[in-house]
Amino acid sequence: MRFAYSIKQKMKIAMLLFCIMACTILIRFLEDKSVKSMNESFVSMYNDRLIPATDLFYVAENAYAKKSMIEDFLNTYEQSFNAAVFKEQLASYNKAIDSLIKKYEKTFLVKQEKEKLIVLKDGLESTGKIEDQIMTFADKRDISSARKLYSQEGRASSKGTIQKLSELMRIQTQVGEELIKDSAFMVSGSKLYSTLQVALAILIGILIVGIVFTSNVVKINNDKFNLN
């Protein structure tokens, strides 16, 4: 009778140990998933936030340098003006900007970024058309028309481009902060999983001690029964 009772108790403990083992495996799976998510979050923060933010900064830098070059040309125009050199410099800035924008497009963009990028590209296209008109006037030595066009449209278009870039950079910062919050949440989840694993390990230890103790008690009782 006692032997049957002992077997029954051991079966209960064995089932409990099996459940604990299943929970441990599940926790381990969740922990691995959490670590993977954290890694993806950090990679995304680097590839989709840090690098693009740097690219946007260089776009703004080139746009501002181009704006300054055009204004210097219009304010200090000379008859000895070399149109070929100026066009080459202008094309160099535009090529750098276009290359950086294409690189930025390939990164992960949230809805707001996609909308702002469309507006930015439209603005860059408009600015490019104004620059072409200014160069046409410059080739004809019609500097007064070039200055008038820049004053009426060019300056505002350039400023608008730089402003749109600032807005995109601001979104980059906001999304980056959200990624940091998500990472912090995943870290806290990983700590919770580790705590649960420790608790389960302690519980398994207690159950093992219980099994050993129960076995010893049953053995002693059986020995006493046999002696009687």
What's the confidence (pLDDT) of residue 219?
47
Secondary structure string (H, E, C) spanning 102-136: HHHHCCCCCHHHHHHHHHHHHHHHHHHHHHHHHHH
- The residue among 131, 152, 145 whose CA lies nearest residue 67 is 131
78: tokens are 């000379």
Look up tokens 């993806």; give the residue.
40
The pLDDT mean for the chain works out to: 76
pTM for this predicted structure: 0.65
What's the confidence (pLDDT) of residue 15?
72
Residue 63 and residue 100 in contact, taking contact as beta carbons nearer than 8 Å: no
Cβ-Cβ contacts under 8 Å for 112 (sequence gap 6 or more): 171
Q: Does domain 50-182 have CATH number 2.30.30?
A: no
Domain ranges of the chain: 50-182
